Amino acid sequence: MRHTEIELDAFNGGSPSGYDAKYNLQLDAGVTYKEITVHGTNLNNDQLRRVSLSLNGDTLYDITGAVLRMIQDYKSEHIEDSKWVIPFADFAMTTQDGQNLTSLVTLPGENVVLQIETDKMTSSQQHHGDVASIRAEAILGVTQTARNWLPRLYSDVLNGSRAGENRYANFVNQNKSKNPVRIRRAHMQDEHIVNVEIKRNGRRLFDKSLTDQNYHLRRFGKQPQQGWYHFDPVKTDFGLVDPLNTLGETFEIITTKSQVGDFLTVFEVLEDLRTGA
């Protein structure tokens, strides 16, 4: 077997009802995480208001449970109620190296913390006297002695102050690291986006309408979600060569919108830690 599949320790924290609570889990260091699945009891699919994972105080993942499920749906993965997959390795990729590229490698002595926040109980849950709880399991890979790549999953709000073109030119500046970063996917939540263009050093790398993009995504087995524009360089499932390198003098994401309004964008990125990369 390439992988070890285990139940993780119980979470600390919580609340008497399990709702409106913060849970913490100190993860073992010195192992490689492929994915973590959170199982909920008496929790609706949208009741994980925050899922975050930090490494040595640096928050790598910071997202909602609803977004985790959206990504699963988009990737055409099997999904069940009250289960949320925190993805590291991307098992949809064609090669083993491509799958492993985004694994979370942790080294001995590091501080790895998973935090889960649950929402307040609904009126129905209150009426039935429900008590919520969570547990987690993980798929682990082989221990590694060095970390060359660091996966990140987080959201940002992009400018949509005009109908027509809106330019987002400070992705690299707002990223948490000065290391080179590659975009694996960017999920833009706005039903009024009609086109996305991406330029690096003034050169146009991508320019597609929503209709054309969704057609190509479906060709490669992806399931575009209603109200989202998915920019997906790895849609062909070649995870090593297809992520978009943002390194350059300029990098712009240009969205064309039919109506005014800022919008949430979920970034799946890979940080390059290799010296001289």
Tell me the CATH number of domain 154-272, given options 3.40.50.300, 3.90.1150.10, 2.60.120.730, 1.10.10.10.
2.60.120.730
- Which pLDDT tens digit goes with each residue over 115-167? 999 999 999 999 999 999 999 999 999 899 999 999 999 999 999 999 999 99
CB 88 within 8 A of CB 151: yes
> 95, 241 in Cβ contact below 8 A?
no
Distance in angstroms (rounded) separating the CA atoms of residues 154 and 51:
10
Q: Distance (Å, rounded) from C-alpha 200 to C-alpha 252?
A: 6
Reported as a single tens digit per residue, the pLDDT across 226-252 is 999 999 999 999 999 999 999 888 899
State the average pLDDT for the chain: 94
What 3-state class would DSSP assign to 66? helix
CA dihedral of 224, 122, 20, 77, whole degrees rounded to 10: -20
**CATH 2.60.120.730 placement within the chain:** 4-141, 154-272
CATH class entry, domain 4-141: mainly beta
Per residue in 21-61, pLDDT (tens digit) is 999 999 999 999 999 999 999 999 999 999 999 999 999 99
